[in-house]
Amino acid sequence: MSKPVLILGAGSDIARALAHQLGAAKYDLYLAGRNLEELQKDARDLEIRYAIKARGVYFDALDFASHEDFYDSLETRPYGVVLAFGVLGDESLARSSREQWEKIIHTNYTGCVSILTVAANRLEQAKEGFVAGISSVAGDRGRAANYVYGSAKAGLSIFLSGLRNRLHGSGVRVITVKPGFVRTRMTRDLELPPRLTATPEQAARDIFQAITKKRDIIYTLWIWRWIMLVIKSIPEKIFKRMSI
């Protein structure tokens, strides 16, 4: 493989759409996740469509102890890493279930810190490459509807910000991706406003452009940057009374 991109959580809808964008641009790919059979099937399809090398590899975001060995076992060191795994979880259940809030926090934050710490160190040694982490607008301000999920994403956004600051000048770029609503399997049971909801393909195009145009932080859809600017500007004494 030449300058492959590692996609963590490659079975997600956004990740699968992004794999096609990267494949069309002739990046070789590692597709990482727990459903190895499905990932290998996707890898074969990408190889045929785009004449690239693609491989499915097993990765468990919650098996923190395995992350360093996982990364170092890749045949060719990745040039880029896309972090696309996450879980919405059951926010109501998380108010009373330790198991549920731990799942949300560890999947959306602890697992990300674990694998990205390894990836960042290896990329820094190579003095080139990129990390693109998919966070969420939910991390921009806590809301009653999803504050456990949002707090994990807020932590991830801050981690990526700090990592970007640390690696500036090293040849490694760090991109924070903040999707708003995206119509995926994870949100299929939610009623989402059509004008504010992206398809996985739209989100993937925005992420690909952020990678190629060397951006630091993007919102997808773009309008979410302004929506969240307004939401963040609402005084707390008013915000705490709102249901949004």
Catalytic positions? 149
The count of other CB atoms within 10 Å of the CB of residue 127 is 9
* C-alpha–C-alpha distance, residues 100 and 90, integer Å: 7
Taking each helix axis from N to C terminus, what angle separates 200-212 and 13-24, rounded to the nearest 10 degrees? 50
Cβ burial, residue 43 (10 Å; 0-12/13-18/19+): buried
What is the SS3 assignment for 149?
Answer: helix
DSSP state of 15: H
Which among 138, 161, 165, 168 is positioned nearest to 217, based on CA atoms? 161
Cα dihedral 143→176→69→59 (10° resolution): 60
Q: Is the dihedral of CA 130, 15, 198, 142 positive or negative?
A: negative
Cα dihedral 227→232→238→239 (10° resolution): 80
